[in-house]
Amino acid sequence: MSDYILNFFSGLFNSTAADVIISIVFLIIGFLGLIKGADIFVDSASQIAAKLKVPLIVIGLTIVAFGTSAPEAAISITSAYQNNAGIAVGNVLGSNVMNILLILGISALICRLPVKKTTFMYEIPFVAFITAVLLLIGYIGGSVDRIDGVILAVLFVVFMAYLFRLSKSGDSSLADDVPEIDENASIPKMIIFVIIGIAMVVLGSDFTVSGATKIAEIAGLDDRIIGLTVVAFGTSLPELVTCIQAARKKKTDIAIGNIIGSNIFNILFVLGISALVSPSPIVFQDSFIVDAIVAIAAALILWLLCLNKNKSFGKVGGIIMLAVYAGYFAYLFLQPSLV
């Protein structure tokens, strides 16, 4: 639908400048729809679950976790349906690199970031492992098909089982992101809001993909670069705001865990579901090999920075992360001219 609206306005004004402005407006509308829609969905679905006496820890592990990955999921699934692999895969890899190097890098400049023992020992290495699995899948087959989607889905189930086991061991931090429960909220009203939230996410993804694709066409940029930068930044905005606010308030005990959890969901849930529902295999471009390697390196850098007595890192680590991201960002835009 958004393509028809975008083409209508482009034909109406018939100028490159107008096309750029219209595409940027579409991008902004899309991002706002994605972020606000995900918030409405998570809040409303959490209220319904609480009314049905679902434990907070389960709400945190399912509804909240799925909701925070909703922007990436909606973008990648929409892009996969439109055979736009550049944005579908680029969004996931770009978000994962950005989450660690840019978001945690900025947060570390504000205050020192500690990492939980389980995150250091299991979750950060797991991010590197599943990214390597994705790289292997893409390198060998040249695409991510339904069989690959099943592999990612199985790994996702394993991760969810790990989280439930962790929650039973008494790790209450897994439910810290659950919205405050409103006793006066009615289930029928919350169901309506859930539907509104889902609709906003779907429409937001449609507008975002259309706007991003149009900008890529006008600027002569590869869809991959748009997915790795502009779209990835837009879908990572919730994580950026959350981490910076947590750092400012000195509530950083689970900041890294939340980012790592988001990265795991992005690869296993977002790409796994995208591959399962896509009408055709999602093409894994050769250029994504470098991006996947950078995503693995980002996880390893984070792990190495936390390889100390306090299992934490501060301003020096933040500067290192931002410097690595700046180098990667420069590579993305210099590479086309070097080929």
The pLDDT tens digits of the residues spanning 99-150 come to: 999 999 998 998 888 888 888 899 899 999 999 999 999 999 999 999 999 9
Q: Are 235 and 96 in contact (CB under 8 A)?
A: no
Return contacts of 187-191, CB within 8 angstroms, 24+ apart: 187/48, 187/51, 190/44, 190/45, 190/47, 190/48, 190/51, 191/44, 191/48
How many CB atoms sit inside 10 A of residue 232's CB?
25
Tokens of 190: 């919350």
- pLDDT at position 194, please? 84
Residues lower than pLDDT 50 in the chain: 337-339
- pLDDT at position 338, please? 42
> How far does Cα 326 stand from its chain's mean position?
19
Distances (CA, A) of 246 to 255, 310, 331: 7, 19, 31
Distances (CA, A) of 34 to 22, 69, 70, 157, 202: 18, 10, 8, 25, 8
- Residue 286: enclosing H or E segment and its boundaries? none
Backbone angles phi, psi at 114, to 5 degrees: -90, 160
* pTM, rounded to two decimals: 0.80
Can you tell me the distance from the alpha carbon of 314 to that of 300, in angstroms, rounded to the nearest whole number? Answer: 16
Tokens of 107: 């947060």
- pLDDT at position 37, please? 83
Can you tell me the distance from the alpha carbon of 218 to that of 159, in angstroms, rounded to the nearest whole number? Answer: 41
